[in-house]
Amino acid sequence: MKDKIKHTGAFSLIDSLVRNGTKYIFGYPGGAILPIYDELYRWEQKNLLKHILVRHEQGAAHAADGYARVTGKAGVCFATSGPGATNLVTGIATAQMDSIPLVVITGQVGSSFLGTDAFQETDIFGITLPIVKHSYLVSDVTTISRIISEAFYIAQNGRPGPVLIDIPKNLGGEEFFTSGTRLNEKSIIRYKVPRYLYRSPKYQLNLILDKIAQAKCPLLYVGGGAVSSNAFEETSVLSNYFQIPVTTTLMGKGAFDENNSLSLGMLGMHGTAYANFSVSQCDLLIAIGARFDDRVTGKLSEFAPESQTIHIDIDPAEIGKNKKPNLFLIGDIKKILAELIKIIKKRGNNAMLKNTLKWRTQILEWKQTHPLVIPNLNDSSQEVFSPQRILNILNNVAPTALITTDVGQHQMWSAQFLKCQPRKWSSSAGLGTMGYGLPAAIGNQMAFPNKLVISITGDASIQMNIQELGTISQYQLPIKILLLNNRWQGMVRQWQESFYGKRYSHSSMQAGMPDFVQLANSYGIRGKMIAPNDRIDIKQELLDEILTPGPCFIDCQITKEENCYPMVKPGKSTSEMFGVITPPNVKIASS
Q: Judging by beta carbons within 10 Å of its beta carbon (0-12, 13-18, 19+), is residue 589 exposed, middle or buried?
A: middle
- For residue 559, give the amino acid letter: T
Other C-beta atoms closer than 10 Å to the C-beta of 118 total: 15
Per-residue DSSP letter, 463 = G
Q: Given CA atoms 59, 62, 66, 72 in this order, what sign does their dihedral have?
A: positive
Alpha carbons 271 and 298: distance in angstroms, whole number: 11
Element at 359 (helix H, strand E): helix 357-369
Catalytic site residues?
A: 57, 119-120, 169, 491
H runs (alpha helix) in 483-573: 490-499, 516-522, 538-547
Alpha carbons 197 and 379: distance in angstroms, whole number: 58
CA dist list (Å): 542 to 57, 109, 530: 32, 49, 9
H runs (alpha helix) in 370-515: 387-397, 409-417, 437-447, 469-474, 490-499
Alpha carbons 392 and 424: distance in angstroms, whole number: 17
Q: What are phi and psi of 202, to 5 degrees?
A: -60, -35
H runs (alpha helix) in 9-143: 9-19, 34-45, 57-71, 83-86, 89-98, 124-127
Alpha carbons 68 and 515: distance in angstroms, whole number: 33
Alpha carbons 232 and 427: distance in angstroms, whole number: 19
Write down the number of H helices and E strands in the chain.
23, 24
Other C-beta atoms closer than 10 Å to the C-beta of 187 total: 14
Alpha carbons 552 and 247: distance in angstroms, whole number: 34
CB 276 within 8 A of CB 577: yes
- For residue 176, give the amino acid letter: F
